[in-house]
A and B are shown apart, each in its own frame.
Chain A
């Protein structure tokens, strides 16, 4: 096992959440270091999306703690969590359908302390990564294809200049060409020292893109290992994912 760096960027410590009476997260703990790509695997309904929502401040755990850069954010409102540098890309993308592409990006860009020059730089950078968004900048978000909406959702999160991006099933329902583009953008984020917490059903992609993997089952982390180790020995993946 690779040693965990001394000061993790994100620490999730024994969080519990309930939905009505059912226990969704039953004490999930994980850590993400600065610039690290961490994969979160598990079958449907084991609490992967809820874990991301708890980090983003959209679900408040009833027990346990979420810390970001050593700071307690367990019960902070979501908009404050976002401004600390946590970008969230939800499973269903949740593009603002009636806003244009640029307006979607501006929801994250128009913040206090971002100069005009900085805004321009951030926009140009995402247009460089996703040229199709530059082409469609004046088009309503709802008119984009599924793949384009996924790119917009990631680009929108990048507008927050995040230190970590939470990606919830970014390749779901996408064509193979789009999937490899998403794979590339994860590498780009990694190169830019942006950490990624990746929830995916696509196991090979997750193992390739991540440094470390957590495997979730019934609301708890059952296994935790470097991605390379799991790639070499896929018995564990078989056991928990049934693939």
Chain B
């Protein structure tokens, strides 16, 4: 216990808040990814680029309108439409084939989108101005309100998704299609349409998280890479296709990284995620946050 005494309580609290904030954004990225995987067994390697392009749409709309919230709404919508277009042109023809083909296809799409962004917007990072610049005092830190707002907004978007899946007719269609695509068709559920909409929803969520996270890091063509890697880790740790598991895993891993950075540099703290990933794959490959399969 000696080493715990070395960490002051205030630092521990600050890192807890940091961990939860990062965890919520990660959860927003990962829930789109896991929703798409759950329903069509497609691992979407272009998800990080949808996140990045969402941030760029945010930059453009913010510059034109000066309103962060319009930018957020526009980015979600534009990226949702882009998602639907990617699905219809690239993935739909490949459904039912070897999963490797969809991995290669989405990887190809991600390269195209990344280089498009580099060509269109250049290598210099753009900035999204946060909607609030206020701070509050957290021990010795000036902590920006905006960070807490991101966490709450992410939670609200995920909550809305959950309510939609739980209670709406379309939510029932999506869950039925996730469980048994063939039987869903036999019940008259328009499965091709459901798959397109789910891909659009997942893409729209990635676009929204790009705008929300933009103010913290700066927007550039490679910003999707870090996030997508982490999102894949939490999707695997949370149990592929399991929404609640991905959210729990996002917060769990972000907290672990935040605490680890008390001892080591943040760059080294990333190692914690990989340790958790490797341990999960070794000991519980179906995911940490799912009931033991019977």
Contact = CB atoms under 8 A, between A and B. Distances in A.
Contacts of B173: 107, 110
Interface stretch (A78-86, A123-131, A184-192, A201-209): A78-86
Contacts of A97: 179
A40 to B, nearest CB: 18
Interface stretch (A22-30, A98-106, A213-221, A234-242): A98-106
A110 B186 contact: no
Contacts of B189: 79, 107
Interface residues of A, number: 25
Interface stretch (A8-16, A42-50, A65-73, A88-96): A88-96
Contact of B176 (A83, A96, A111): A96
Contacts of A57: 185-186
Interface in A113-172: 156, 159-160
- B169, B175, B187 interface centre (most CB from chain A within 10 Å): B187
A225 to B, nearest CB: 30
Given A79-B185, A82-B185, A98-B179, A107 B191 contact: no
Contacts of B182: 58, 78, 94
B186 A90 contact: yes
Contacts of B188: 79, 82-83, 107-108, 111, 160
Contacts of B192: 77
Given A79-B191, A103-B172, A96 B186 contact: no
B55 to A, nearest CB: 35
Contacts of A56: 186
Nearest to A160: B188
Interface of B: 169, 172-173, 175-176, 179-180, 182-192
Given A58-B186, A78-B182, A96-B183, 8 more contacts: A77-B192, A78-B186, A79-B188, A79-B189, A90-B186, A103-B175, A104-B176, A160-B187
Interface of A: 56-58, 77-79, 82-83, 88, 90, 94, 96-99, 103-104, 106-108, 110-111, 156, 159-160
